[in-house]
Structure 1
Amino acid sequence: MTDVKSLVSDFLTIDDALTLDGETTKALQLKHLNRLRTLDGHAKYFTRAQGCTFIDENGDKHLDMIGAVGVVTVGNNNDFVWSCLQKCFDSKQFMMGAISYHNVAAALAHNLALLSPQGKLTKVGTATGGAEAIEGMIKMVKLATRNKPEKTHLLATLNAFHGKTSGAVSLGGKDKWRAFQQPTLANIDHIEYGSVAALEAALATGKYKAFVVEPIQGEGGIIVPPEGYLKTARALCDRYDTLLVLDEIQCGAARTGKFWCCEHDDIVPDCIVFAKGLSGGLVPFGGYLCTETLYDAAYGSLETCYHHTATYQENTLSAAAALGALQFILEHDLCGMAQRKGDLMMKRLREVQQRYPDVI
């Protein structure tokens, strides 16, 4: 074997990378990656992370107050999730392949089906992140409704955020992220979030394949809809033969006191899109859960079963990280913890609000 340094003198090995000093790391990132975003975001150089703590290049500790925007639900570098990945490394599992059986991915899909609302979402599609999962959902919905020529459009909400790929920004309801992306995907309409009247007026046209909505709008401002909104949306979608798709990428995976946010309304959507909190914060992962009826309408024939494949789908490491995160969430009652700590935080915030009503 020829040493790589003799082939490319400036090549950086993994050992080199792990021991880079702060200045070199910053210089390389600013040269080769997104310079303006890094500088505008006042990036810091963190060398280690554990639980809810970051340690920077100077050894100073920082409290993680954002969790990688909802990703690190189980904490940074969770030991249990790492142990699940390590077991796959140690046993040299078959990691990925387009046409093969995947033991860890199959086990994860089984567990997700068990934990789906009322156990009724039994089919799983995987992806490497939330935006890709949204793209996969859009394709599935279009395939599933291909024999309904009257169904021509998708319906979403203003200020929604569904990711930053081209299809996802088309579905999203923010002009900021659709800028310079024209032409966006055609036949997507947006209505006011939380408005039952706007929803019914739109669905009554009969032209919508699906209504895609966040149970709580994330980037839109952490907007909780009026009580009963999702339950009404479910009833209206049934009445007008429209699929109900919930984007729980940010609000799912135990972040609201229930595993799935829609469980607060005790409804069963046709599809839930997930990501973030089920990655363990270690391996990119996302996907969707849907009913067997929806999945089979899209992929239940030899004509269409190959219409959505991806190199990394159902890969063992992503599935292992998700399976480990799922087990940790359940065994440590992170749903209950979110509920208790959320109630405490809101109580204390309201006390501050009473003292400073002109500010809050």
Structure 2
Amino acid sequence: MENLIALEKKVCAENYAPLPVVLHSGAGVWLTDIHGKRYLDMMSAYSATSFGHSHPRLVAALTAQAQTLAVTSRAYYTDRLGPFLQRLCEMTGMARALPMNTGAEAVETALKAARKWAYQVKGVTPERAQIIVCAGNFAGRTTTIVGFSSEAQYRQGFGPFAPGFVSVPFGDAAALEAAITPDTAAFLVEPVQGEAGIIVPPDGYLAQCRAICSRHNVLLICDEVQTGLCRTGRLLACQHEGVQPDGLILGKALGGGLLPVSAFLARPDVMGVFRPGDHGSTFGGNPLACAVGHAALDLLEEENLAARAERMGALLLGRLRRLRYPAIREVRGKGLLIGMELDSTHISAREFCERLMYFGVLSKDTHGTVVRLAPPLVISEQEIDIAVAAVAAVLDEFDMAA
């Protein structure tokens, strides 16, 4: 194991700090390292493996399509793209979709669409469009996106950054309305902030934002790359408040945990600003991605994963909240997107995840203070018991040490 870790450190840029485990295989909610030790996956690759690892239906769809036609580029029509996007639009209630690969690419697509819509439809003076974002946001790692991040490390050394972004506090609808000007094109928001530490806004916040955006002719764009596709107990997290956005960004779970698939979806006048040559992607909308994405959407409905995430999430949240330890400051979340905030004077979240690994459970911290607990949506009650028992075992260790 040490040799493989050393090799990766030698030849790969150190832009991550992985836990000291070398994984070899995965099935369902379980991962296995090179020594044969099994671990319960409580992170789901940031929601990308919502269906679990190597789901047979998704692997079959991938294999069959790979043996037929994988990549052509959008220079031609294929028999896979139209049906996939039709299914995606019907399920989300959106009019049109533009396929991409990664979540960050889909966010960039949304930003381009919002700006061009502002100029061509709303009538904003050219080159003056503004997009409002929230403090604590995380939408990817491109230079444009890190430019509107409030996290210093994401920005340091990567400027200069693109102008045209205004930041307001997350969860504060009044601050959103106060920031709107005639030049405002859109409000880009995560219904639940993931990387910030699983931050759930006050009840009614998103509905208020919807009303404010409608009143001021501002696009409401929901970044549901992490929260979408049943993670929070609804197909889309914005549906908890009955909100229909003007633009929607999906990714991660859309690829079934097998390959990158993302999409920007929007109403007709927003998507209508694109003309041939305005935007593109060599791999976006490739037949392989479409086959897997379509199968993933079918599984969401057939396995009723929204209801399952709501039920299992309530179980996990309830059992974690019953743990009484001074190291726990707060347990919060929605569905199977849960964060356990720790008192750093007792233990850092990184240390906690390292100890959790030795008890056979894998997770990852965010900002050194919050442990993510976001397993595949197919997790069972018995597996939740295993995870909670491991969390309690780590807390016992540090409680005794204190």
TM-score (norm 2): 0.77
DSSP-derived class of the 2:323 partner? helix
**Pairing 1:61–2:38 present:** yes
**Pairing 1:73–2:50 present:** yes
DSSP-derived class of the 1:155 partner? strand
Match of 2:223 in 1: 247
Q: How far has the Cα of 1:305 moved from its partner? A: 2.9
**Pairing 1:350–2:350 present:** no
Choose which of 101, 109, 112 in structure 2 pairs with 1:139: 112
Amino acid corresponding to residue 343 of structure 1 in structure 2: A
Match of 2:162 in 1: 185
Distance in 2 of aligned mates of 1:45 and 1:226? 40
**Pairing 1:314–2:268 present:** no
DSSP-derived class of the 2:80 partner? helix
Q: Alpha-carbon deviations, 1:252-277, whole Å to 9, x = none?
A: 11001110111111111111111111
Choose which of 233, 238, 261 in structure 2 pairs with 1:257: 233
Match of 1:5 in 2: none
Match of 1:339 in 2: 310
**Pairing 1:217–2:190 present:** no
DSSP-derived class of the 1:209 partner? strand
DSSP-derived class of the 1:190 partner? strand
Distance in 1 of aligned mates of 2:145 and 2:23? 31
Decide which moves more: 323-332 or 92-101: 92-101
Q: Is the 8 A contact 1:156 1:173 kept in 2?
A: no
Q: Is the 8 A contact 1:156 1:190 kept in 2?
A: yes
Amino acid corresponding to residue 305 of structure 1 in structure 2: P
Q: Is the 8 A contact 1:102 1:314 kept in 2?
A: no
Distance in 2 of aligned mates of 1:295 and 1:51? 37
DSSP-derived class of the 1:352 partner? coil
Correspondence 1:182-331 to 2 at 5 A: 182-203=159-180, 205-296=181-272, 298-299=273-274, 304-331=275-302
**Pairing 1:163–2:170 present:** no
Question: Size of the alignment, in residue pairs?
Answer: 326
Q: Is the 8 A contact 2:138 2:195 kept in 1?
A: yes
Distance in 2 of aligned mates of 1:95 and 1:188? 35
Match of 2:386 in 1: none
Q: How far has the Cα of 1:324 moved from its partner? A: 1.5
DSSP-derived class of the 1:322 partner? helix
Q: How far has the Cα of 1:94 moved from its partner? A: 5.9
Distance in 2 of aligned mates of 1:37 and 1:186? 26
DSSP-derived class of the 1:103 partner? coil
DSSP-derived class of the 1:48 partner? strand
Distance in 2 of aligned mates of 1:225 and 1:70? 20
Q: Alpha-carbon deviations, 1:141-187, whole Å to 9, x = none?
A: 11222232346211100011010111121233323212222211102
Q: How far has the Cα of 1:351 moved from its partner? A: 2.4
Amino acid corresponding to residue 245 of structure 2 in structure 1: P
Q: Alpha-carbon deviations, 1:175-228, whole Å to 9, x = none?
A: 32122222111021100101111111112x222110000000111111111111
Q: How far has the Cα of 1:27 moved from its partner? A: 4.9
Match of 2:124 in 1: 149
Q: Is the 8 A contact 1:155 1:210 kept in 2?
A: yes
Choose which of 16, 22, 30 in structure 1 pairs with 2:9: 30
Change (3 A) 1:359 1:315: closer
Change (3 A) 1:358 1:185: closer
Distance in 2 of aligned mates of 1:336 and 1:58? 36
Amino acid corresponding to residue 149 of structure 1 in structure 2: V
**Pairing 1:84–2:61 present:** yes
Choose which of 41, 62, 69 in structure 2 pairs with 1:93: 69
Q: Alpha-carbon deviations, 1:63-101, whole Å to 9, x = none?
A: 1111111110000111110111122133x2263223211
Distance in 1 of aligned mates of 2:107 and 2:261? 12
Q: How far has the Cα of 1:24 moved from its partner? A: 6.1
Q: Is the 8 A contact 1:133 1:286 kept in 2?
A: yes
Q: How far has the Cα of 1:26 moved from its partner? A: 4.0
**Bigger radius of gyration among the two:** 1
Amino acid corresponding to residue 46 of structure 1 in structure 2: L
Distance in 2 of aligned mates of 1:359 and 1:156? 27
Match of 1:14 in 2: none
Distance in 2 of aligned mates of 1:239 and 1:359? 39
Amino acid corresponding to residue 89 of structure 2 in structure 1: A
The structure carrying a bigger strand percent of its residues is 2
Decide which moves more: 274-283 or 142-151: 142-151
DSSP-derived class of the 1:69 partner? helix
Distance in 2 of aligned mates of 1:220 and 1:101? 40
Q: How far has the Cα of 1:311 moved from its partner? A: 0.8
Distance in 2 of aligned mates of 1:172 and 1:214? 13
Distance in 1 of aligned mates of 2:219 and 2:46? 28
DSSP-derived class of the 2:322 partner? helix
